Amino acid sequence: MNAVISIIIPCYDDAEFIEQAVNSAIGQNYPYKEIIIVDDGSNLETKRVLKNLEHKIDLLITQENKGPSSARNIGIQNSSGKFILVLDSDDYFDSKFCELAIKSFEKNLNIKMITCYARWFWDDNNFQLFKPEGGTIQNFLFKNSSLGTIFRKQDWKEVLGYDENMRNGFEDWEFYIRILKNGGIAYVIPEVLFHYRKKNVSRTTYANKNKYSLMEYVYIKHSALYIENFEIFAKFLLNKIKAEEKGKIKNINRLEFKIGMAILKPLRYFKHKLGRY
């Protein structure tokens, strides 16, 4: 029986959590699926875990480390499904996500991508609820409004896949921009079906440290899109500047700042006096 959904799991040095991700893919209620893992140059410990999982999945692809975009692209190239679900190796889905997603695609042909509410968790007792906005391209101009996303393989082909130059993060966001910029919507299933693991050190934290260079890359790459939406773009940038200026004023008015200034004032006075002699 041919797969309808191909679940692609890129993996890099994730021996601890990859089995949970695989089990969540296997446990999807939707029966017409295949599971492909792409080992993106993992360490020996992770390779041993993947070898033990190989009998549970449909295909294990091994490559030297080329980054998440490359791993996703090679997995999708080797897939047979009409729909693609990319699952990072340290995250997992509830069992009914794929089934609900396919039903939503069938009801509305304008849907290009489907996501859901997510549980961002540190451990079993510490988490926060995240509700992605979804929506049209306007909702994706300045941030990623989707995560844990399923899309059509045909759309991936038409936009030429993930950008393999983006090895440091934000590749999902840039990919979704290309899928949506010619129309369609990202639909959000209003249920918590995705579990996103927050780590102290992760690709996301690294991406946030480099976010301005990554944003610059996206803005320049899609300059025609931002020119087309120039009014929205200008308002967004001005609001960011206003917020930063407001934050600076707030810091100046904080009690700690005032105390610090009071302590430094006499020192500045004597420094000024000494400078005159």
Q: What is the pLDDT of residue 126?
A: 83
Clarify whether residues 205 and 249 are in a common domain. Answer: no
- Percent of the chain at pLDDT > 70 equals 85
DSSP 252-273: HTSHHHHHHHHHHHHHHHHHHH
Residue 2: pLDDT band (50, 70, 90) is confident
Q: Is the same domain home to 153 and 44? A: yes
Number of domains the chain is built from: 2
Residues 87, 223 share a domain: yes
Same domain, yes or no: 242 and 220: no
Whether residues 141 and 264 fall in one domain:
no
Same domain, 140 and 250: no
CA dist 169 and 191 (Å) reads 26
Contact 39, 62 (CB under 8 A): yes
Shared-domain flag, residues 238 and 179 = no
Residues 6 or more apart in contact with residue 200 via CB below 8 angstroms? none
Does 166 lie in the same domain as 95?
A: yes
Supply the pLDDT for residue 125: 74
Residue 101 is part of a domain; what is its CATH number?
A: 3.90.550.10
204 and 159, same structural domain? yes
The structure tokens 């991508």 sit at 113
pTM for the structure as a whole: 0.86
Q: Are residues 169 and 267 in the same domain?
A: no
Higher-pLDDT residue of 256 and 238 is 238
Q: For the CA atoms of 240, 241, 247, 249, what is the dihedral angle to 10 degrees?
A: -160
Range of the domain at 248: 233-275
Beta strands of 131-245 (E only): which ranges? 150-152, 185-197
User: Are 207 and 115 contained in the same domain?
Assistant: yes
Rounded CA gap, 217 and 213, in Å? 6
Regarding whether 193 and 68 lie in a shared domain, the answer is yes
